[in-house]
Amino acid sequence: MILQPILPQNIGVKVFLEFFAVFITFAVSKQLMMKTIAIIVAGGSGTRFGAQLPKQFLQLGGMPVLMRTIRAFGENRENRDGSFDVIITLPTGQMELWRQLCEKYGFVVPHRVVAGGETRWHSVKNALDSISDLADVDVIAVHDGVRPLASGRLIARVLDAARRDGAAIPVVPLNDSVRQLSGDGSHALDRSTLRAVQTPQAFDARLLLEAYKQPFDKTFTDDASVVERLGHKVTLVEGEPHNLKITRPMDLALAQYLLNQDA
């Protein structure tokens, strides 16, 4: 939101400068009071992973994956334009385990837990419905709970683009050749025109809430597709190769390797 001062006519230069200084101070303080909400979706069961624990609770660098993901936002120093409120969505049956893990690891990064839904869309909708006051919220970011290596720089890039354009997502080029299946077989696609989509995906807060007033559609693949259904353009920003989504044991091993390299 851009603030513009309304000045009376025939104002003197000295009075104008004093008025302008007060206005700038107000505008800056108002911006500094704005906050960003980060919704972290963690609904995995661990079925594909083949583990007893859901993948968001598996150990990575001495703590559960989900804790490391929350820290990327809750301890982010790159969000210069405000502060984060963190909401995580969890299946109801995992909430007590999460409470026990927070106690065990002394995890004190502020966050709020909301019950997840039947699908990712329903989980995000539940989180949005739990927000009682949007007065000081400028942007809402939505992130996968099992993407624990998103850097502060990446998060800042996405937020800056969302503040400017209303909707932004990080993407990376494809390395492998890709083919599209059809009724009579398949055909090659030009991978230079394709991008793999990551999270966090960030949006103007009121735009995202308006988008989620639409009824659920199984063709929604992520939050950007929900916003696009309203006719709003989504800006692409450069993602990070190491911002991987942990879905298989080899992903966890790679994430641990990358953490060790950064240590």
Q: How far is Cα 140 from Cα 162, in angstroms, rounded to an integer? A: 9
Q: What's the pLDDT score for residue 134? A: 85
Under-70 pLDDT residues of the chain: 1-33, 44-51, 76-83
Q: What's the pLDDT score for residue 75? A: 76
Q: What's the pLDDT score for residue 47? A: 55
pTM: 0.85
Domain spans, the chain: 34-262
Q: How far is Cα 39 from Cα 36, in angstroms, rounded to an integer? A: 10
Q: What's the pLDDT score for residue 26? A: 42
| No. of helices (H) and no. of strands (E), the chain | 8, 12
pLDDT digits (tens, 9 = 90+) for 195-209: 999 999 999 999 999
Q: What's the pLDDT score for residue 74? A: 82
- Identify each DSSP E strand in 56-214 by its residue range: 59-60, 63-64, 83-90, 112-115, 137-144, 167-173, 178-182, 185-189, 195-197, 201-204
CATH architecture of the domain 34-262 equals Alpha-Beta Complex (3.90)
Q: How far is Cα 135 from Cα 115, in angstroms, rounded to an integer? A: 24
